[in-house]
Every structure is written in C-alpha cells, then in structure tokens.
Chains A and B, each alone.
Chain A
Amino acid sequence: EIVLTQSPGTLSLSPGERATLSCRASQSVSSSYLAWYQQKPGQAPRLLIYGASSRATGIPDRFSGSGSGTDFTLTISRLEPEDFAVYYCQQYGSSRYTFGQGTKLEIK
C-alpha cells in the first residue's frame, strides 16, 4: 500500500499570500495518478487537481499542481478567503487508492 505523507500539518497564512502544500509518497505513483481535494467543514471533499497537474472542471487557475514520482506539490498562488480549508492528496495509481493525512490551511 502506498503511504502518502503531507506537510506541513497546518499552514497559517494571510489572504493574498502564496500557499505551497507538499505530498510525498512511499513509492512512485504510477502515471502521476495523484489528485488533490479541498474539504470545508460540514462539506464533502471537492476535486481540485488530477493527474498531478490538471485542474478539475470549474477550479480557478490560482490552484496548480506539480510533481511526479514520489514528490508532489499543490500551489495556491494568491489566497482568497474561501481557500482556507483542509487539503488532501490521493493516489489512484495502484490497486488500492490511499489518501494523505491532510494539511489544514488556516488564516493567520
């Protein structure tokens, strides 16, 4: 089973700043089958990025994903108030998918 480790656990930033979230896999993620989700309190997760770098439908271009192999990054170029939430990475390239433990992005 591929273990995904996200860092940092909590990120405190102000609106307008740039956020960089990391996701490291215990082994190479096949074909960059890596996704990022955003979850706000009381809501289901929402797909942001798939294939490591492709934005899902309707996702603003301030969200971008990069990386390959075992190291992946989600970048939010300029934080908007609605971006403060918990973010999860997920690999779906092995026979059993797994999620990272999440990064909480909070307002500083």
Chain B
Amino acid sequence: EVQLVQSGAEVKKPGESLKISCKGSGYSFTSYWIGWVRQMPGKGLEWMGIIYPGDSDTRYSPSFQGQVTISADKSISTAYLQWSSLKASDTAMYYCAIGGGSYYAPFDYWGQGTLVTVSS
C-alpha cells in the first residue's frame, strides 16, 4: 500500500527556520516525482515544486523559487520542504503528493498534510 506520512504540526515565530518531512512507503521511492502543495487558510491549492529523488532533479513554481528548498534523502525514503526564515504569510497546510514515474503525471497519492503556523 502506497503511503506518504508527513511530519506533525509546527508552530514557529517569524524569522525562524523549519524543515518538514514526507516519508514514502509501499512504492519505489527513487522512481516517482514528489511534489509539494500549499493551501493557505480558507484558500485553494498552490503547486510549489517537485523533486525526483532518484537524481534530486528539482523544479520550482516561480512563486516559490528562492522562498523554499525542496530536497530528498533516498536512503530513508523521505522528502523535505524547508524555509530559512519564516514569515507570517507562510502559515498554511502543506501537502506532499506523488504521481506516476513520469514527470507529466497527476498526483494520485497524497500525504495527510502538515499545518505550519507562523506567529509572533
């Protein structure tokens, strides 16, 4: 059974750093692109970026380029989304998701989401 298990909710202050995780199981971790999706409170879905764990090829949405870093550790089948300096506007639910082995694939498995709250 394919599973994506994300790390727990976080409460941080502006300016702090953060790294959240998404652990994949039940499939070949290095063969599927893993994407990250943001959902701000009461808002829609935003595609942030995607990584291919096999070779760490990473693509970012222009809206998120330079704002976050996506990485993966294939030795422990885990992808990461990190911030070096959080802002209040980073408060959101963050989902990881995978599609097929091709880059051009929809997301058919999703993690449960990680809620990030940034407040002073």
Contact = CB atoms under 8 A, between A and B. Distances in A.
A96 B47 contact: yes
Contacts of A31: 104
A57 B75 CA distance: 30
Interface of A: 1, 30-31, 33, 35, 37, 39, 44-47, 50, 56-57, 86, 88, 90, 92-93, 95-102
A28 to B, nearest CB: 14
A98 B47 contact: yes
B27 interface: no
Interface of B: 35, 37, 44-47, 50, 59-62, 95, 97, 99, 104-108, 110-113
A97 B47 contact: yes
Contacts, number: 66
Nearest to A51: B106
Contacts of B60: 96
Nearest to B107: A47
A97 B45 CA distance: 11
B47 A99 contact: yes
Given A44-B113, A96-B59, A56 B44 contact: no
Given A99-B44, A102-B45, A92 B59 contact: no
B106 A92 contact: yes
B76 to A, nearest CB: 22
Given A46-B110, A97-B61, 11 more contacts: A1-B61, A31-B104, A37-B45, A44-B95, A44-B113, A47-B107, A50-B108, A90-B107, A98-B47, A98-B61, A101-B44
